Amino acid sequence: MSKSNQEEFINRVKMALGKPFSNERQKADLFSHEMPAETRAILERVKNRTVEDRKRLLETLTEAAEPINLKVIPVNDVGAVATAIAELVRDKDPEWGDPKSVAAWQHPLIESLNLPDALSEQGVPVVFTDLQNTDEADLRRRVIASYIGVTSADFCMADTATLVMRTRPGQARSVSLLPSIHIAVIEIDQIIADLKELYALLKWDPLKRKEGVTNCMTFISGPSKTADIEATMIDGAHGPREVYTFVIAPDDFEDDADAPPE
Amino acid sequence: MSAQVCASLRLKKKDKMTKISPENYVAEARKAIKNQVLQRALADLQNRFGRGTAESYRRLPEGPGLRLKAHDIRMQTIENLDVVLETLAANIRKNGGRVFFAKDGQAAIHYCLEVAQRHKVKRVVKGKSMVSEEIGLNDALINSGIDVFETDLGEYIIQLAGETPSHIIAPAIHKTRDDVGNLFADKLDIPYETDPPRLTWIARKALREKFVTADMGTSGCNIACAETGHITTVSNEGNIRMSTTLPRVHIAIMGMERVAARLEDHDILLRLLCRGAAAQNMATYVSYIGGPRCANQADGPEEFHLVVLDNGRSRILADEQFREMLCCIRCAACLNVCPVYGKIGGHSYGYAYSGPVGAVVTPLLVGINRAKDLCLGETLCGACQDICPVNINLPRMLLALRGKLAEGDTVWGVTPADRKEKFLFQAWSWMIRNRKWYDLALKLAATGQKLFTRKDGMIRRLPPPSHGWTKARDIRPLAAESFVRRWKKGI
């Protein structure tokens, strides 16, 4: 059904453009398969970042985060993150009156926080969003009931204070969406400068391009907000009302410019 | 929401949602100008967003000139739209999504209903989408017994009120907090409140229940990416992420021009879109959606459909004078600076698209004669082009539309607006080329005008057929003696 629809539709477009004939050459022009020199330079820059460069990016990120109410918190190690999250869990109350529970990604960095242990003292359960031990409906119920969601991210763009997340099994999209508080944990070398670097990495970096954009890539810049009533800006429209980003930046972290940036 | 409210929504929306009424432009504009509340809201909106956007362009590392580059990117895509759309569709299908090409609104609606019926959908949550307003999707779903909830706060407010959006990105800008408080008290059965954070929280709570129980979500598309096979959705509230993550089925509808060829094109386009729309460096949420959930993923829709809509766009594409209009990314920046929109508001334009973009797009989509007042009403001041993130020459196209109205046009089926006007201009043109007749006319007018000049030396009212000129202003009389005559006399 849709095939013939498409043909008719595209033919109408071709007629409108006044070129009812073949267009292979034009296709090659539009979608180049060679890396432009500019992109190569961007990838080199990302790859060769020094410790100083990365610290500067963290500063840029912190500055950009402030006006959009994103809280960026640099820490030394995963232990400090776990402690900080336990404190948040203690201080914050669930928005919808459910008993306290936390949803978290199944992700090496997040698992290394050992949240179930860190929160066991308070008796707060942690739900990991993989389908190995439970079914989808149960998982969904438990994410909906969680008031804090803990994720990592693929990248964080410093210029706009934007977390970039690609979808994978175990890393549910709703963890950064349904809970009232979203906590993201990243390492300092995941910070990149801007959209240009992101797109260059996704399209041309041998490791990143293998996975590509995935079926859902999300950018998150701060808490959900709206200005729909009398143009008054208010945090907490439908998504999380508070967003925290913990950046793990070891004090003694060595210049390991040759390692891939993740 | 109670069943009663749903039923009343159904009734109200039936006659309001899809009404196309650009014919009422003058009457509606007159009403709007007298509405003090609306005047304040519009002034506030323009002060905040119009200025903010201009400022945000200046802060770009590349400067406001980046808009010219964006224009080139858009134009290149539009001129290769056939290839770009084919690539987009092929890539989305490769990711497991389904693509439907709809010739018109009816075909798009038919497809959406079919999907909804196949999945026995009872409840739909909608992310804000002007193209769904354009085709009247809500109406169609509601008429086939499906509950539809707009989830953007502004859209939710106007849906409860049974109205239509008055701004492309701030649809409830014509409502005060008191209006919203009354509306929520009435429709949601809660105590009257006027505090915007509280009102927002009330909507947050009410809609959360809809999000988790809906079977289908719909969205628009800001700028798709052909080479990767993704649509993008941009929002601040998170409602579009909710609508496209939680329900079993996601249908996205896009006007066929809302696509970029390459991923790197999004760098410039996204940055400019966020600045044009809300003077932001980046919207809170941007999602690239390219297909249904994959195996072992815990959430996301089981089915993803993309509807690509023509609905008159190929006709715009075919006309080189108007092709440029397809560069538009619907950010609404032009509304936030337009002196006309700033006075008459969005409802006067009588269609989903208002402001300068509406003044060009609406005549092209619904008929130039039918929507003639829209392009005649603009001032040609050029503020819209200066603020446009993709530098569309809107004044040029407004003039081109006026030209068609004056001369008539067979391709667009335009009948000349007024033969009397044409005759008058022909007479004028002849007269100013014939010195003697011109001088005579001036002399007659200089004598005749004495009948109409008041004591203060101004003319308050001219007789027909020139009475239109003094409808809204007093004019000065002609000088007793013309400059040429005084020059000859050696001043």
Assign residue A74 the CATH number of its domain: 3.40.50.10420
A31 belongs to a structural domain: no
Query: Is the separation of the CB atoms in B76 and B83 below 8 Å?
Result: no
> What are residue B73's phi and psi, to 5 degrees?
-60, -45
Ordered strands of the A162-166 beta sheet: A191-192, A155-157, A162-166, A216-220, B285-289, B231-235
What is the value of pTM for the model shown? Answer: 0.91
Confidence of residue A24 (pLDDT cuts 50, 70, 90): low
Task: Please report, rounded to a whole number, the percentage of residues in chain A having pLDDT higher than 70.
Answer: 91
Work out the angle at residue B135's Cα, subtended by the Cα atoms of residues B132 and B140, and round it to the nearest 5 degrees. 90
Characterize the bridge pairing of strands A216-220 and B285-289: antiparallel
Q: What is the structure's pLDDT at A253? A: 57
Band of the pLDDT at A33, cuts 50, 70, 90?
confident
- Do B126 and B251 belong to one domain? yes
> Can you list the positions of beta strands (E) in B261-379?
285-289, 303-309
User: What pLDDT is recorded for position A21?
Assistant: 62
Q: What pLDDT does residue B13 have?
A: 43
Above 60 in pLDDT, residue A261?
Answer: no
pLDDT at residue A169, rounded to an integer? 95
Short-list B135, B175, B178, B177, CA closest to B159: B175
Residue A255 pLDDT > 70, yes or no? no
- The pLDDT of residue A20: 64
pLDDT tens digit sequence for B307-330: 999 999 999 999 999 999 999 999
From B314, B335, B362, the end of a domain falls on: B314
Give the per-residue pLDDT at A257.
45
- Asked whether residue A26 is assigned to any structural domain, the reply reads no
Q: Would the CA dihedral through B174, B177, B178, B179 be positive or negative?
A: positive
Report the pLDDT value the prediction gives residue B179, as an integer from 0 to 100.
Answer: 94
A28 in any annotated domain: no
Q: What does the pLDDT read at residue A168?
A: 95
Is residue B240 a part of any domain in this protein? yes
Q: Examine residue A4 and state whether it is found in any structural domain, yes or no.
A: no
**Domain residue limits at A174:** 36-248
pLDDT digits (tens, 9 = 90+) for B169-185: 889 999 999 999 999 99
Does A236 lie at the interface with B, CB-CB under 8 angstroms? yes
In angstroms, the Cα distances linking B240 to A184, B263, B285 are 21, 21, 9
**Average per-residue pLDDT for chain A:** 92
Domain final residue, candidates B314, B335, B368: B314
Query: Is B474 inside any structural domain?
Result: yes
Specify if B159 maps to a domain. yes
**Quick one: pLDDT at residue B150?**
96
Domain that holds residue B457: 419-488
Q: Quick check: B82 and A173 CB within 8 A? A: no
Q: B285 and A170: CB-CB below 8 Å?
A: no
What is the tally of structural domains in chain A? 1
Minimal-distance CA residue of chain B relative to A137: B298
Q: Is A2 part of any domain?
A: no
Task: Among B261, B280, B314, give the residue marking a domain's end.
Answer: B314
Interchain CB contact of A167 with B (< 8 Å): yes
Q: Are residues B309 and B435 in the same domain?
A: no
- pLDDT > 90 fraction of chain A, expressed in percent and rounded: 82
Cβ of residue A41 closer than 8 Å to a chain B Cβ: no
Whether residue B428 sits in one domain with residue B310? no
Q: Is residue B348 part of a domain?
A: no
Nearest CA in chain B to A105: B298
Greater confidence, B112 or A28? B112
Q: What is the mean pLDDT of each run of 10 residues along chain B (491 residues)?
A: 44 51 95 95 93 96 96 96 96 97 97 97 96 95 96 95 90 93 95 95 96 97 98 97 98 98 97 96 97 94 98 97 97 97 96 96 96 95 98 98 93 86 88 92 87 87 84 86 86 67
Q: Kindly state the average pLDDT of the residues A88-113.
A: 97
Task: Identify whether A18 is part of a domain.
Answer: no
Domain total of chain B: 2
The reply to whether residue B157 touches residue A9, judged by beta carbons under 8 angstroms, is: no
A221 contacts in chain B (CB < 8 Å)? 282-285
- What residues contact residue B479 under an 8 Å CB cut-off, 6+ apart? B446
